[in-house]
Structure 1
Amino acid sequence: MANSPSFRRHPHPSSIDLVRWLPSSATSPSGRLLAAAVHDPSSGPASSSIHLLSLSDPGSPLASLPLPSRATALRCSPAALAAATSSGSLHLLPSSFDANAAVAVPGGAGFHMGPVRGLDCGGEEWVTAGEDGRVHVIGGGGDGRVVARRVWDGKGMAGYEAARWASPAEFATGGAGCGVQWWDRRKGDVVMAQSNGIWGHGIVTGMVHSIDIHPSRKHICVVGGSSGTIFAWDLRWPQQLTPLSGVGLNGTAQPVCESEVWEVLFDTYTQSSDIISSVATRVLPVMMCSEDGILAVVEQDERPLELLAEPCAINSFDIDPQNPSDVVCALEWESIGVLTRGRDTMAEE
């Protein structure tokens, strides 16, 4: 029988905005590693940075990369770590965390004007989506340079909050006023499908904060946004959205929270309650975190499984890709939380 989850809080001297597991950390002499975007408003202009942290002691950075402004997005791939900022810049760092090899794409007219909220890695390329309504694909230029190519410019009419790759040729974006969009680069970087989402019977336009796409089911997006709303969008039936949580959905989904859902991720640790139907149509379990301090697992037609109920916002979380029983989260009250499911003690190495 699986053991009860355990949870530990690790105080940190700065505010933690975002936190991620480093996929390559399993071979590190320091044990399992984390990357965290931190911000200290009392330290002057140079108050934002990316910290490399050891799971055994998350309060003491092993290395640090300063940022020109507060981090708004943070993603890790096996080869690199990327951070986007509120001033519109993108910073790429090798997974070895060699700050001397970091490459930056500065914010401005040629890239993003303002916060970059959506960021993800798709093989050898990155996608960014910003509040300015711009979408870029970033990759190598063949001569060692990093090249950002603009895919779309919404001219600020509708901003983006999330972006996620589904394949090397397809990605999804979401934000304010534009719902969720599905792009296919093979068709000339155009939107192939769009959904306006489920927001309070359609009376109020909601905000998409996070998108995840299951690696084995690239046609299914799970979306988290405002008013506790979480829904799944299946491209096979683009007009038939599946609510997983939300406020005022006629009882079709139980709300796990009523605030902003900051992040959603498919939970590869939790088994679906219906294995047979999950093969074809059932939405697999999803983990979420919220502004009102909830970390929970939601599943189609099931009661939410609440893992944490904190007195402060849970700004970000990540599931360890090597050990999906382990979850790390960024707590608004200047601490990092580590949740371990199904084991008495956490493997530090």
Structure 2
Amino acid sequence: MDTKNHLSRHFLGTQPSVLRSIPFAPAGAPDKDGVALKHRLLALADWNQDSEQHRLSIANLQVRQKEGSIESAIVQELASWVTDGSIKAMEVGDLGGGELVIVAGSSRGHLSRLRLTSPLAPGSDPSEVQLQGEGDMEGADLLPWKTLHRGRVAALDICADTREVVSAGEDGALFVVPLESTSAPQPFVEARASASYRAVRWASQQTFVSAGTTGGLEVWDKRRPGKSQLRSPLSWGLMGSPALDASHGLERQINCIAAHPSRPHLCATGSSSGTVAIWDLRFTVQPAVHVSPKPGSGEVWEVHFDGYEPFSGALGGSDPLVLFCTSGGVLGIVSSSAGSLAENAAADGEIRPSSVLYEEPCSGIRSFDVDTSSGQDIFCATEQECLVYLSRGAGL
């Protein structure tokens, strides 16, 4: 484990819109010089200006470590596929035993799928990753797997345990699709002219949560198509804070959702108002709302629960923290303690500040993800065609 932070920026030469960490084997034993190599694989949805193509690419961030410190980090593109339309939603599912799946949703309503087999032995090389049944690793077009929506796929999520994908569209439709499905699925919720979805996330093997233009959150049971199981009170507003709703007018909306890794009733959202809200999906208390730490930081574009224990402990919390990124270039962090929900309700809607973990100069952070093995490494995709790599040390 590193004893201090490492921060590096890497020029990609493409404009990434979504970034996801891909699980990979741990580093092997150090060589005779004491240097160990670890590989951090990343899936990137991007636009290549030179070829004028939308792509899904896989990159390797090769990290050299010596005596607990990072000596260098180098990014190399391993493979890319041309996609039909831009990708705004993408997730990686770890199905176990080295079996992985990448599902991407396009602006044309398609879902595309890549199935990979990844080595598990420490010290494995990325060249050992194999693509299963979807062509080759040499840049063939990525063909649609399913066409579900009229217009853009707004969000999707993979439940690895049940091997199912939930997809939400700007057309107001929801779909739940088995990963091995070969038939045309029926919509879970029919497309609606009066509503549009912005975000969706599995909360458990049976339930998922969504957000859209109707405001607040809805919880769905996959066994009961067509009607939500629970809905947040209308009095809480679109973003969980009536006061912020009033101040942000018609532009207010929830942009993204993250589900707690072990508590299916707890989730986090990021909004157009630059806030992060922590929700109890039983809707017994009003959400705790945290404002972006810097004025003018812009919209919150993505949120993730943070399981990096040394950092969580340093801030005095037993629950995972919530990381978020903004259109103003802030990578921020807030407490997800369930106790803060009741405290927030007692404080009559008090809005709390968040903290800055990193700030990108003169650029928004489009998307970010956290390494799944330890949570120590964070990867950010910026509007200036850069990858930011932050490795957190135990000394924080």
Match of 2:65?
A: none
Q: Using the TM superposition, name which of 25-34 and 305-314 deviates more.
A: 25-34
Tell me how far 1:89 sits from its aligned partner: 0.6
Contact residue 165 and residue 179 of structure 2 kept, 8 A: no
Asked if 1:89 is matched to 2:110, the reply is yes
**Secondary structure at 1:157's aligned position in 2?**
coil
Q: Which has the larger radius of gyration?
A: 2
Q: Given the alignment, which residue of 271, 287, 290 partners 1:241? A: 287
Query: Measured at CA, do residues 180 and 237 of structure 1 come closer, stay the same or move farther in structure 2, by a change above 3 Å?
Result: closer
Provide the C-alpha distance between the structure 2 equivalents of 1:149 and 1:327, rounded to a whole number of angstroms: 37
Q: Given the alignment, which residue of 127, 137, 140 partners 2:166? A: 127
Match of 2:356?
A: 306
Contact residue 11 and residue 335 of structure 1 kept, 8 A: yes
Number of aligned residues: 324
Tell me how far 1:14 sits from its aligned partner: 0.9
Query: Measured at CA, do residues 303 and 179 of structure 1 come closer, stay the same or move farther in structure 2, by a change above 3 Å?
Result: closer
The alignment's TM-score, normalised by the length of structure 2, stands at 0.74
Contact residue 41 and residue 59 of structure 2 kept, 8 A: yes
Instruction: List aligned pairs for 1:235-314, cutoff 5 A.
Output: 235-245=281-291, 258-269=297-308, 270-271=311-312, 273-275=315-317, 284-299=320-335, 304-310=354-360, 311-314=362-365
Match of 1:22?
A: 22
Q: Deviations over 1:146-187 (max 9, x none)?
A: 553311124131211111001121001112233211101234
Gaps of 5+ in 1: 247-253, 345-349
Tell me how far 1:217 sits from its aligned partner: 0.7
Instruction: List aligned pairs for 1:138-287, cutoff 5 A.
Output: 138-140=177-179, 145=182, 147-188=184-225, 190-195=227-232, 196-199=238-241, 201=243, 202-203=245-246, 204-205=249-250, 206-245=252-291, 258-269=297-308, 270-271=311-312, 273-275=315-317, 284-287=320-323
Q: Using the TM superposition, name which of 95-104 and 111-120 deviates more.
A: 95-104
Q: Given the alignment, which residue of 26, 32, 48 partners 1:40? A: 48
Root-mean-square deviation (Å):
2.8
Query: Measured at CA, do residues 261 and 231 of structure 1 come closer, stay the same or move farther in structure 2, by a change above 3 Å?
Result: same
Gaps of 5+ in 2: 29-36, 63-72, 95-99, 118-129, 137-141, 233-237, 341-351
**Secondary structure at 1:271's aligned position in 2?**
helix
Match of 1:9?
A: 9
Query: Measured at CA, do residues 233 and 13 of structure 1 come closer, stay the same or move farther in structure 2, by a change above 3 Å?
Result: same
The alignment's TM-score, normalised by the length of structure 1, stands at 0.84
Contact residue 253 and residue 271 of structure 2 kept, 8 A: yes
Tell me how far 1:38 sits from its aligned partner: 1.2
Match of 1:347?
A: none
Tell me how far 1:60 sits from its aligned partner: 3.2
Provide the C-alpha distance between the structure 2 equivalents of 1:257 and 1:237, rounded to a whole number of angstroms: 30
Letter in 1 for 2:113: L
Contact residue 184 and residue 192 of structure 1 kept, 8 A: yes
